[in-house]
């Protein structure tokens, strides 16, 4: 379930006059995606040491959750689907457990076993006809979080059907952003941002005391932002489908697929979710696409400390209860 994220970080440019703290930022590729790591520190050397530690932590997580690395525990789980349970580290066990809880929360709109689906939808301009109903049904035959069996005492994970796979494409970068932030906070970094291709977690303030802000891109005109919002010690994720889609028989289909049906979601082109953790915001952003506007907003309104902004395919804006957009 690949997704395209586009979110612009609005960071005030600060001179060092009158401020002992400064902003240091590094952009690099991790987990196959762009990461922007920003820290506030008094010394350049120390700041880059902090960033190095964050990079090391993100790389560690990638090795743990990667389904492409044949030696990872995730790959071992997939290889042994329908054969045997696999013993995993507590960290991975807990991540999978939380993913299953999110599946229950979203009625299966979020499901890490989506990785089992055959890639019958193509978003590279090569599709000219709809996949058959038979092909779509076959693509979801091995999908279902109910078939992920976990044993807490033994710390094992078992996929009950052969050919099942789990993947963390819809939660992994958010988790990595959270873990990198936690590490830097423990190291004494007073403020910063981990931006994992739009999966963003922030803490503290800018050196002048102002809040970090994010500019939410207008998907109807990507050169402009429709909102500039503060993010205070929390996470924000924007998920958009305005660049990866296909039009078949006059209908627009997004690359975000409903793991329960095998059909792409429709009606929404952008979802932004604010939450305490990027992991949660990451999963919910995808889920809202799948659940649809009414169900998605209703579900977000039931979650404490979570808000969302939805833009539909007509350009209309829908928000959860505690967000107001002045246009």
Q: Looking at residue 249, what is its pLDDT?
A: 83
Q: Which of 110, 134, 159 is the last residue of a domain?
A: 159
Decide if 196 is inside a domain. Answer: yes
Same domain membership, residue 183 and residue 270 = yes
Which of 240, 264, 260 shows the shortest CA–CA distance to 252?
A: 264
88 and 141 share a domain? yes
- Residue 168 covered by a domain: no
Same-domain check for residues 187 and 205: yes
Same domain, 108 and 193: no
Residue 276 is encoded by which pair of tokens? 């305490």
CATH of the domain at 101: 1.10.3980.10
Question: Is there a single domain that holds both residue 181 and residue 224?
Answer: yes
The crossing angle, in degrees rounded to 10, of helices 278-291 and 293-301 is 150
At residue 151, what are phi and psi to the nearest 5 degrees?
-120, 105
Contacts of 327 (CB under 8 A, 6+ apart): 226, 317
147 and 199 in a single domain? The answer is no
CATH number (domain holding residue 233): 3.10.520.10
| Domain-terminating residue out of 159, 192, 209 | 159
Q: Would 106 be classed as within a structural domain?
A: yes
Q: Answer yes or no: are the C-beta atoms of 302 and 291 closer than 8 Å.
A: no
Residue 274, in any domain of the structure: yes
Number of domains within the chain:
2
Same-domain check for residues 183 and 298: yes
**Residues 77 and 107 placed together within one structural domain of the fold:** yes
91 plus 131 within the same structural domain: yes
Read off the tokens for 270: 């952008």
Tokens read off for 32:
């196959």
Same domain, 307 and 247: yes
Same domain? 285 vs 309: yes
Contacts of 18 (CB under 8 A, 6+ apart): none
pLDDT tens by residue, the chain, 327 residues: 333 333 444 444 333 434 589 999 999 999 999 999 999 999 999 999 999 999 999 999 999 999 888 899 999 999 999 999 999 999 999 999 999 999 999 999 999 999 988 778 888 888 888 999 999 998 899 999 999 999 999 999 999 999 999 999 889 999 999 999 999 999 999 999 999 988 999 999 999 999 998 887 777 766 677 777 888 899 999 888 777 788 888 887 888 999 999 999 888 989 999 999 999 999 999 999 999 999 999 999 999 999 999 999 888 999 999 887 665
Q: What's the pLDDT score for residue 222? A: 67
In a domain, 289, yes or no: yes
2 part of a folded domain? no
Strand, coil or helix: what is 8?
A: strand
pLDDT at position 326 is 61
CB atoms within 10 A of CB 8: 16
pLDDT of residue 15: 37
Give the residue from 104, 129, 159 where a domain finishes.
159
Q: Where are the beta strands (DSSP E) in the chain?
A: 7-10, 22-30, 33-41, 86-87, 148-151, 156-159, 192-196, 199-203, 212-217, 225-231, 235-240, 245-248, 251-254, 268-275, 307-312, 317-319
Residue range(s) defining the domain that contains residue 262: 7-14+22-64+173-319
Per-residue pLDDT at 327:
58
With respect to residue 138, please indicate whether it lies within any of the assigned structural domains. yes
């Amino acid at each position: 379930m690949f997704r395209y994220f586009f979110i612009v970080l609005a960071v005030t440019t600060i001179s060092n006059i009158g401020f002992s703290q400064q902003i240091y930022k590094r952009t690099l590729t991790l987990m196959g995606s762009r990461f922007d790591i920003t820290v506030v520190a008094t010394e350049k050397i120390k700041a880059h040491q902090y960033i190095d530690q964050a990079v090391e932590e993100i790389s560690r997580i990638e090795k743990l959750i990667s389904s492409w690395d044949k030696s990872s525990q995730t790959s071992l789980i997939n290889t042994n689907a329908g054969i045997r349970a696999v013993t995993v580290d507590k960290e991975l066990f807990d991540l999978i457990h939380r993913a299953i809880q999110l599946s229950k929360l979203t009625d299966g709109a979020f499901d890490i076993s989506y990785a089992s689906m055959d890639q019958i939808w193509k978003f590279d301009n090569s599709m000219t006809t709809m996949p058959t109903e038979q092909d779509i049904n076959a693509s979801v035959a091995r999908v279902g979080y109910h078939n992920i069996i976990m044993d807490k005492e033994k710390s094992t994970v078992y996929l009950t059907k052969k050919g099942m796979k789990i993947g963390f494409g819809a939660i992994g970068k958010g988790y990595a952003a959270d873990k990198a932030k936690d590490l830097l906070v423990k190291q004494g970094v007073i403020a910063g941002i981990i931006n994992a291709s739009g999966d963003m977690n922030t803490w503290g303030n800018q050196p002048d005391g102002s809040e970090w802000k994010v500019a939410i891109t207008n998907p109807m005109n990507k050169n402009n932002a429709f909102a500039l919002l503060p993010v205070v010690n929390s996470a924000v994720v924007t998920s958009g489908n305005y660049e990866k889609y296909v039009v078949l028989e006059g209908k627009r289909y997004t690359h975000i697929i409903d793991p329960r049906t095998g059909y792409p979601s429709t009606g929404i082109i952008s979802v932004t979710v604010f939450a305490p953790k990027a992991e949660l915001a990451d999963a919910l952003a995808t889920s809202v696409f799948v659940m649809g506007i009414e169900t998605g907003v209703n579900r977000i309104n039931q979650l404490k400390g979570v808000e969302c902004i939805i833009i539909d395919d007509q350009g209309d804006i829908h928000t959860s209860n505690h967000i107001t957009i002045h246009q």
